[in-house]
């Protein structure tokens, strides 16, 4: 049984936290572009230096760079039976890149989890995270910029996946456990089975 999943939601929707929890439930790796890029920044590589400048300005990493990093990650052995993507694809160009990659492996996404959270809630959560974690990329201006980019570029990908009938819209407001339970129930309703050890 495979589970090839994508979790989508505005910054501050909790998709990173839920992505890790859902990946554990289904026994698949969580593949977060944000985590991969932050690791590159922390490592001080050439990629990390490029990424740091982009992120601190509230901008996104270019498609070709992002797609290359994701393709490399999905080609690793632990992603053979499935994966949960977080932060990719984030626009229509990346949807085409991912489709081409998966089609080449005779695969497709099984489900897209859309975490629905009001904009005011996203901003409040991000502001709190910035204060708690000292995240320099979570200034009010950068947050507003990233939410605008999400609404302009990422929201349209949901239309593409909705046409394929694979989007589950999940209410992203509630306790962590309530939201996880909603997601698991939606995926199980699609016939996706949780890992036996859970």
Q: Catalytic residue positions?
A: 15, 90, 129, 135, 146
Angle at 115 between CA 142 and CA 153, to 5 degrees: 50
CA distance 183 to 177: 10
> Residues near 156 by Cβ (< 8 Å), separated by ≥ 6?
91, 92
CA distance 101 to 96: 9
Q: In the sheet that 30-32 helps form, which strands lie side by side, from edge to edge?
A: 30-32, 82-86, 3-8, 111-116, 167-171
For the chain, what's the residue count? 198
Count other C-beta atoms under 10 Å from residue 30's C-beta. Answer: 20
Angle at 162 between CA 160 and CA 168, to 5 degrees: 135
């Amino acid at each position: 049984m495979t589970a090839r999943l994508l979790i989508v939601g505005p910054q501050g929707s909790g998709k990173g936290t839920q992505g890790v929890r859902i990946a554990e439930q289904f026994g698949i790796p969580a593949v977060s572009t944000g985590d991969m890029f932050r690791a590159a920044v922390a490592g001080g590589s050439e990629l990390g230096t490029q990424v740091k400048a982009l992120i601190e300005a509230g901008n996104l990493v270019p498609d070709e760079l992002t797609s290359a990093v994701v393709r490399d990650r999905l080609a690793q052995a632990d992603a053979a039976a499935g994966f949960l993507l977080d932060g990719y694809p984030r626009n229509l160009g990346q949807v085409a890149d991912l489709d081409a990659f998966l089609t080449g492996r005779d695969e497709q996404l099984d489900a897209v989890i859309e975490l629905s959270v009001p904009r005011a809630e996203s901003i409040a959560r991000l502001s709190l995270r910035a204060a708690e974690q000292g995240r320099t990329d979570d200034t009010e201006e950068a947050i507003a910029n990233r939410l605008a980019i999400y609404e302009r570029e990422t929201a349209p990908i949901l239309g593409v996946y909705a046409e394929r009938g694979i989007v589950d819209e999940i209410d992203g407001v509630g306790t962590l456990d309530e939201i996880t339970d909603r997601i698991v129930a939606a995926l199980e309703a699609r016939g996706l089975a949780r890992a036996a050890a859970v």
